[in-house]
């Protein structure tokens, strides 16, 4: 029997009721058999400060975040789109995670999805996130692309993803991540 694939979900937004947190929750709920999903927090990660790092080393919240990434077989990152790019808090978390030694994104299979109220559904933010992760040698899943536009019509008041075609896109992304991760693990 094949060991389950451990997936860490990383939210690109701090807001508790953000559409991207709702999408991350849906990704976990729609994960296929053979996949164990856990979401993490980036709220406690301080703003990157090279002086702080030089004086004190990595903050405990950064050490914990990096350890979770190291322990995961794959990642799912949700990104909102702020000013045609990713959120500052997500970029900050990635910047801290990428610090040496043994940066944990190197060779890690990663799926991206994002949602916004607008029609384009994070297409520009996802392009930027792909560029950032490729620079860190993250193995970003190319297909399928899941860019959920019109978020207000796709989630209900409880935060559940209720739009069935969108659920199928997310389910397909998670299934593709499972296959991709198994291939990368050899």
pLDDT, tens only, 3-45: 999 999 999 999 999 999 999 999 999 999 999 999 999 999 9
Q: Domain locations in the chain?
A: 5-185
CB 148 within 8 A of CB 21: no
- The predicted structure's pLDDT at residue 57: 94
Q: Round to whole Å and give the CA distance between 12 and 122.
A: 12
Residue 139 has pLDDT above 80, yes or no: yes
Rg (CA), the chain: 16
- The predicted structure's pLDDT at residue 121: 83
How much is the pTM?
0.96
Query: Residue 148: in which H helix or E strand, if any?
Result: strand 146-148
Share of residues in the chain with pLDDT > 70 (%): 99
* Confidence label for 185 from pLDDT (cuts 50, 70 and 90): confident
Q: Mean of the per-residue pLDDT values for the chain?
A: 96
Residue 161 has pLDDT above 80, yes or no: yes
Phi, psi for residue 51 in degrees, rounded to 5:
-65, -45
Q: Does domain 5-185 match CATH 3.40.50.360?
A: yes
């Amino acid at each position: 029997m094949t060991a389950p694939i451990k997936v860490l979900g990383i939210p690109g937004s701090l807001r508790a009721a953000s559409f991207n947190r709702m999408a991350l929750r849906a990704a976990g709920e729609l994960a296929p058999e053979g996949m164990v999903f856990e979401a993490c927090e980036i709220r406690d990660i301080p703003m990157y400060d090279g002086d702080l790092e030089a004086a004190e080393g990595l903050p405990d919240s950064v050490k914990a975040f990096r350890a979770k990434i190291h322990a995961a077989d794959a990642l799912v990152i949700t990104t909102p789109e702020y000013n045609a790019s990713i959120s500052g808090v997500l970029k900050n978390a990635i910047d801290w995670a990428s610090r040496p030694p043994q940066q944990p994104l190197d060779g890690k299979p990663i799926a991206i999805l994002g949602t916004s109220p607008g029609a384009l559904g994070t297409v520009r933010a996802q392009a930027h996130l792909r560029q950032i992760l490729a620079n860190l040698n993250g193995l970003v899943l190319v297909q399928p692309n899941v860019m959920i536009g019109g978020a207000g019509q796709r989630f209900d008041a409880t935060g559940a993803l209720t739009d069935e075609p969108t659920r199928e896109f997310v389910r397909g992304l998670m299934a593709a991540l499972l296959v991709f991760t198994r291939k990368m693990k050899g």
